[in-house]
Amino acid sequence: MEFKSVNFSYDKKSQLLKQNTGYIPDGKITTIIGPNGCGKSTLLSLLSRENKVSDGEITVNGKEIFQYQPKEFAKMVAMVYQQNEAPVDLTVEQLISFGRLPYKRAFKNTSAEDEEAVDWAINITNLESKRRRKLDQLSGGERQRVWIAMSLAQKTNMLFLDEPTTYLDIYYQMELLELVQTLNIKHNLTIVMVLHDINQALRYSDHLIVMKAGQIVAAGNPEAIVTEDMIKDIYGVDVALHTNHLAGMYLVPLGI
């Protein structure tokens, strides 16, 4: 996936994104970071076709994303939003089965392929013991895994996650990010996510996109682009960067 000279505004007056160019490397974990209101989720919404660029273009395999039919695009890219809603009386299995909608034909029953995809998504997200439970019987972390499982049932090669760790305690944050890493390494999914926690982004990302005030200011391998001066410029916070043989690169906030 590539994007070139991307601008975006809702009202054609105030631009939220300005002249952004970049790419999403195949088979890698890309994380978009930056301060609140800088355009992280807006950029993700454009890459996932939730919104359409005001100017510029976004392509997958050299083809502009809105030239794909909706079902065709849904077989390539799955999206999990920061906040997701569904009737709470649905079971885990029922919600995950909605991920098969791009493959459904009118008046056709569920196929063996559909059942296999749902079973795989339930298994890989460790939800087998929850598959008959209703959504209102789950914790926040479990619900987030169900939404990811629904996206996995789409059998795409790209998974987008908008702030997936928001509202989760540290255990469920780690559980979710370990799942993301497993999906990338063992199943070769290309992952694009928005995160607020810089240390989590440093630990789990192969590729960073750093944004400020609607523009990409740096992109690349985290160890190559992240510096103490850059963090100060982007966030207005003094930090100390360290490297540990277990944790890799991490930062310690010092003050503002």
Identify the pLDDT of residue 153: 95
pTM of the model: 0.93
Task: Grade residue 230 by pLDDT with cuts at 50, 70 and 90.
Answer: very high
Task: From residue 172, give the alpha-carbon distance in Å to each of 3, 165, 184, 185, 246.
Answer: 32, 8, 18, 20, 20
Q: Round to whole Å and give the CA distance between 40 and 193.
A: 9
Quote the pLDDT of residue 140: 86
| Whether the Cβ atoms of residue 30 and residue 24 lie closer than 8 Å to each other | yes
* Mean pLDDT, rounded, for 190-210: 97
Backbone angles phi, psi at 248, to 5 degrees: 75, -150
pLDDT, residue 11, reads 81
pLDDT given at position 106: 59
Spatial CB neighbours of 30, under 8 Å, sequence gap ≥ 6:
24, 190, 191, 192, 193, 205, 206, 207, 208, 209
Among 117, 57, 124, 129, residue whose Cα is nearest residue 92:
129
Cα distance from N-terminal residue to C-terminal residue, the chain = 37
Tell me the pLDDT of the chain averaged across its residues: 94
Which tokens in the block code for residue 69? 């039919």
Q: Please, where are the H alpha helices in the chain?
A: 40-47, 70-74, 92-97, 112-124, 140-152, 170-187, 198-204, 222-225, 228-235
Residue 25 CA to residue 5 CA, distance in Å, equals 18
pLDDT (tens digit per residue) in 57-111: 999 999 999 999 999 999 999 999 877 888 888 999 999 999 999 998 755 777 8
Domains and CATH numbers, the chain: 2-227 (3.40.50.300)
pLDDT per residue as tens digits for the range 118-153 = 999 999 999 999 999 999 999 888 999 999 999 999
